Amino acid sequence: MSGTAGGEGTPMSEPGWNRREILRAAAAAGVGSAVFTRALSALAAEAGPGAVTPAMIGQAEWVAGIALTDAQRELMAKDLEGLRRDAAALRAVPLDNAVGPALVFRPDALGPAHAPVAPQRAPERLDRGPAARPASPGELAFLPATRLAALLAAGELTSVELTQLCLDRIARYDPELLAFVTVAPELALAAARRADAERAAGRARGPLHGVPFVAKDLLSYPGVRTTWGAGPFRDQVRPGKATAIARLEEAGGVLLGKTAVGELAWGDVWYGGTTKNPWKPAQGSSGSSAGTASSVAAGLAPYGLGTETWGSIVSPCTRCGATGLRPSFGRVSRHGAMALSWSMDKIGTIARSVEDCALAFAAIHGADGLDPTAVDRPFAWPPRRDPRSVRVGVVRELFDADYTKWADTEDEKPGYAEWQALDREALAALAQLGLDLVPVTPPATPPVGPMALILTAEAASAFDEFTLAGGADRLVRQVRDAWPNVFRQGRFIAAVDYLRAQRVRTLALAAMERLMAEVEVLVVPSFGGDMLLLTNLTGHPAVVVPDGYRPSDGTPTSLTFIGRLYGESELLSVAHAYQQATGFALRHPPGFSA
């Protein structure tokens, strides 16, 4: 068999040509070209007639979870060969990561109908009274965005001063933290000068006008690298601007740069090293919104954007003592963001306070016509309801479970026991606030853990071309709990099993809807039971806040509040009330105070 790919005179039958190279050549040639057609023909010839044998089917039955007779295997062989060739043809179609499936996940499909509304882009009012500028730059660096907004509005501070302060701190501390992939000083200072000029002309855009922010390096920005934390993409510049960044800039935000993300959104290890926890720099910051949480906690940026598929906001915020909002699925457009799991990815905010998260969320939520999952739903801030009128469910069963089971080693167990004690103190503090606390049990759902194969299958598909071309082999982490191994596993998940998992997910959604019909907010341990995975699968929003510091080493612990779908207003109001009463968010790591 002869043919060409990548130019005439390159026979596919020559030694050295394999399936991967044929696919690469076909992709480079372009769909619909004569070369592409010949590449498909070469794939079919490579497989050979009758290449799938009854014996091969027998060896693969354990993957499919079925047992067949010899006659059934014989009957199936030719058709499976056809399916294999169909799959090869589909693999030869070039697919950028931005191309999603022709399916849209809707977590509210089982609940009451929600009418679209015009999204509110700015708070109704933010009156913080007289603004006094702190005496030291270190104190100024750790003020929440709400206080910085008041200083900017009062003329006590300029955006250029604040932006330069952040850039100076990044230059000083980031070599230790490794929280930034790209710092953009020229871009940031130009935006700060525009913000100051607009404010001087009486054209203030709102409380975030002139306040710097950072963006996780999964989000695209024109002319700035978007590396996804992975070495094979370190020079990648994506087209267009992520909607979430664009909306913060429309609100007057000043982008400082792109923050580190664990390779392809897993963990805190990226091609530049391990992003560190400011409270314990010998320790990683957790991930995958590693750099945003670390930089906010260390006073390098007032707030920033993170993403979560399964814990990527909750986990680094817990480790670094930051506050994070993971909105309802579909609340924020993911246009311009790396796709990992089309039915689980969410963009959220990380800051020093609940209210800062609320301000940023007010700027970025709502449909944009570019992400088919993004919706318009009401959001009000400041909250219109007294948090004491919100029914708050407390899942006491999870607080009473043994936290030390979360530990990976015996040495870690005392730290988890301290965390449990701090969580119980947090419950007592909530009771003292006069909240309407209601004991509830975890929702009676189908097994939650097995539904994680949805993420495995979608992530493997999102990076299928990358894996087939050998890209996964070039990532830093080549261990069991890392993407290279998981991407390969994804090819062993049958489509029938993936869709079955999605059907089981429907039952989980119904169970959560029943529970959330009784209460408006849930309080749970951040990693208790299956709630973190469950609520990421069902799309419910969560706010994670620091709730204490371990006596043994001073590192933070956290508490998580979960809300109804699109119930961010009530969710944030309860978390804000707790945060205001406790003051844990006002602390900052001592090694970064200057």
Phi and psi at 511, nearest 5°, equal -65, -40
Distance of CA 235 to the CA centre of its chain: 22
Q: For the beta carbon of residue 274, count every other beta carbon within 10 angstroms.
A: 19
Active-site residue set: 216, 288, 312
Neighbours of 467 (CB within 10 A): 20
End-to-end CA distance of the chain: 71
Cβ neighbors of 138 (< 8 A, separation 6 or more) are 299, 593, 594
Rounded Cα distance between 6 and 24, Å, is 9
- Within 370-520, where are the H helices? 396-400, 413-432, 453-462, 464-468, 483-490, 495-518
In this structure, the strands spanning 273-274 and 276-277 are: unpaired
Beta bridge partners of 548: 557
User: Which residues are CB-contacts of 591 (< 8 A; sequence separation ≥ 6)?
Assistant: 278, 281
Residue 39 dihedral angles phi and psi, to the nearest 5°: -65, -40
Element (DSSP H or E) covering residue 57: helix 54-64
Which secondary-structure segment (H or E) carries 21? helix 19-29
DSSP-assigned letter for residue 387: G
Residues 6+ apart with CB under 8 A from 289: 216, 259, 261, 306, 307, 308, 312, 313, 316, 317, 324, 350
* 63, 287, 468, 493, 537 from 489: Cα distances, Å: 11, 22, 13, 7, 20
Check: CB of residue 323 under 8 Å from CB of residue 350. yes
Residue type (1 letter), 191? A
Residue 1 DSSP SS3? coil
User: Which DSSP state fits 560?
Assistant: E
Q: Tally helices (H) and strands (E) across the chain.
A: 20, 15
- Per the CB < 8 A criterion, the answer to whether 489 and 498 are in contact is no
Cα–chain center distance at 472: 20
Neighbours of 293 (CB within 10 A): 36
Q: Please report where in the chains the tokens 């923050």 appear, as a residue.
A: 259
Dist. CA 338–CA 486, nearest whole Å: 17
